[in-house]
Amino acid sequence: MPSPDVVLITKADCHLCADARAAVARVTESLGIGWSERSVDDDASLRERFAEEIPVVLVDGIQRDFWKIDEVRLERTLRKALRLES
């Protein structure tokens, strides 16, 4: 079964982004899946879409959280995507 696509949208000089990076890393590591990071500084369409909500977590292209990442909610979402929970 393929892993869910987890993407953290960030920007430079963002203290919330550092916290989000750590939260996403903890959750994905505990489930044995990878994740990637994209910066609005490098992508005008992301900057336009998420300007006021950084950091943002996307799972399979769907926005799941922003600003402060809720690790419990993210883990629950990923477990469902992995079909570890119903």
Residues 12-68: pLDDT tens digits? 999 999 999 999 999 999 999 999 999 999 999 999 999 889 999 999 999 999 999
CATH of the domain at 36: 3.40.30.10
Print the domain residue range for 76.
Answer: 6-81
34: left (phi over 0), alpha (psi -120 to 50) or beta: beta
In a domain, 1, yes or no: no
What CA–CA distances, in Å, run from 46 to 27, 42, 60, 84?
24, 8, 15, 31
Its pTM stands at 0.93
In a domain, 18, yes or no: yes
